[in-house]
Structure 1
Amino acid sequence: MADSSVKAAVEGVTVAGGQVSGAATVLRLVLGRRLQDLRDAAGISFEEAGRALDVTHATIRRMEKAQVGLKVPYVEKLLHIYGVTDPQEVDAFLDLVREANRPGWWHRYRDVLPDWFSAFVSLEAEADQIRAYEPHYVPGLLQTEAYAAAVLRAGMPHAHANEIDRLVALRLARQELLARKQPPLLWVVLDETVLRRPIGRPTVMRAQITHLIDSVASAPHVRLQIMPFSAGLHPAMYGPFHLFRFPLAELSDVVCAESLVGAAYFDQRDDVSTFREALDRMCAQAAPVHRTEAILSGIRKEI
């Protein structure tokens, strides 16, 4: 393989001030995908790559899927096996590997952050479009502090107060991405149930709905649609999920579907298309964006 092939593998990815400057998991996804491309172009199987590193073929698969960290010596040897010999090309790739292995800003919350949610925060931080369906509560990026505390206490009844405080702080820190110079598009379909179910005291719910009204009115990058009871059944009644889209062409869309004990991530085209189609259908069924403020104001008066 010509050394120029790896130039494409690192072109457009910068360590600071560029497209993937803060999310180690996302950068690992990019590098893993590019290692896969290099391996495929070299005509080398998982088994052959694994034998070269004295690891199992499953380890190579996990590296390419960003399910494990990338070890610099392993990647350096793989690049050599895949025919990449230009020292500058190799050094550039390995610099990105080192960057990918550095913890993200959310690492300081590792004492309360589940492993599966680290990936979620990373995807959220680097997406340029976040679409979501939420049937249970207001999404974390749009929660007030009091509402977030009430939701977390309900979901974690045995947690210590300090743990709840730390998780609330993490949730509020995540919201800073909406204040960035170029924030992602956040497009949420919110089930009417979310607004009707009491969470915390009435003052908490009123303040939360006011915050939603202000967010929709003042933030052109936030689109909020309400799925009314009158819409009846719809395609996504199975549960909440988020769909992330990235500015990097190398990354396919990723869907995160949450459950009581964790989350499942999907990036295969057919799976993602199923979720995207469900969202598109719901957006057609839900009240249009220009009606959202009036709906929220009406519900707020009833609290």
Structure 2
Amino acid sequence: MLRVVLGKRLAELRERAGIGYEAAARALDVTHATIRRMEKAEVGLKIPYVEKLLRTYGVTDPEEVESFLALAREANKPGWWHRYRDVLPEWFSAFVSLEGEASLIRAYEPHYVPGLLQTEDYARAVLRAGLPHAPAETIERGVSLRMARQRLLTRDPAPPLLWVVMDETVLRRPIGGPAVMRAQIDRLVAACAMPNVRLQVMPFAAGPHPAMYGPFHIFRFEIRELPDVVCSENLVGAVYLDERDDVSAFLEALDRMCAQAAPAHSTEAVLGRIRKEI
């Protein structure tokens, strides 16, 4: 995500200087496609390239140049999740990066408890269902990654606000057995008390709603260069959307669902009733 920010800033500097792709490429003796890929965060930022571009775009203040280069060096470092690359698909690396930078994470979950709120036993059962042929060590690595992601909600400073609408189906589907489900509901009850977590349950009785087609997440950031991003998952990957019209459609659907679902202040009572039935 830091590469995305720096790429956008490079594009702004180039445009402000009135320099086109071809001229910028000539300054580095590369193709114009390389400049485009740098601005779109599709490649790492080579420090000599970045420094030469800054000079070409008229950035001459030494402190400003060094500040930009320091961010570029930071952007080239692998994220903490890199050590889980053996069990982390490329499409999900982007998800974890978005998750880590977001100030607000909103989601609709029709099937499972969100990964950020799962217990170890629940996560293990979910991963086993999705990867029936995977060896035990792969499942355990996946559980470890999921637990590491959860530290996001208690980080200091500035943990993100997590606002989730879950279908009642999530709480009714027996995953891992009764004991696992009871422990998972207890985890959700505890989450309701967290100041940066808001949970709502969409009851069966509410009928149809605008997002019955599948799960999705919406990420919002404090960094001005980053637009809202929607992640819509499927069986083999995910689609990421950041065009305003696309994101607006998901936001509207989720807003309608929040109005239709049980209010957040009643979620603990809903969880308690369902737990007694398990």
2:110 is matched with 135
Query: How far 1:56 sits from its partner (Å)?
Result: 4.1
How many positions carry a matched residue from both structures?
A: 277
Match 1:146 to one of 116, 121, 127? 121
Give runs of aligned pairs for residues 105-144 of structure 1, distance below 5 A: 105-144=80-119
1:4 is matched with none
SS in 2 for 1:91: helix
Unpaired runs of 5+ residues, structure 2, are none
Query: How far 1:78 sits from its partner (Å)?
Result: 2.0
How far, CA to CA, are the matches of 1:48 and 1:270 in structure 2? 33
Query: How far 1:31 sits from its partner (Å)?
Result: 0.6
1:185 is matched with 161
**Greater Cα shift, 238-247 or 71-80:** 71-80
2:46 is matched with 71
1:23 is matched with none
Give runs of aligned pairs for residues 1-303 of structure 1, distance below 5 A: 26-181=1-156, 182-216=158-192, 218-303=193-278
Change in CA separation of 1:61 and 1:230 when aligned onto 2, cut-off 3 Å? farther
Question: Match of 2:183, as an amino acid?
Answer: A
CA deviation vs aligned residue, 1:235-294 (integer Å, no higher than 9, x gap): 212211111112222322121111111112122222221111111111011110011111
**Greater Cα shift, 160-169 or 123-132:** 123-132
Question: Match of 2:106, as an amino acid?
Answer: R
SS in 1 for 2:205: helix
Please give the TM-score of this superposition, normalised by the length of structure 2.
0.94
How far, CA to CA, are the matches of 1:59 and 1:287 in structure 2? 50
How far, CA to CA, are the matches of 1:195 and 1:89 in structure 2? 52
How far, CA to CA, are the matches of 2:242 and 2:22 in structure 1? 23
How far, CA to CA, are the matches of 2:199 and 2:31 in structure 1? 46
Please give the TM-score of this superposition, normalised by the length of structure 1.
0.86
How far, CA to CA, are the matches of 1:177 and 1:155 in structure 2? 24
How far, CA to CA, are the matches of 2:9 and 2:29 in structure 1? 21
Change in CA separation of 1:290 and 1:267 when aligned onto 2, cut-off 3 Å? same
Query: How far 1:166 sits from its partner (Å)?
Result: 0.6
1:21 is matched with none
Question: Match of 2:275, as an amino acid?
Answer: R
**CA RMSD after TM alignment:** 1.6
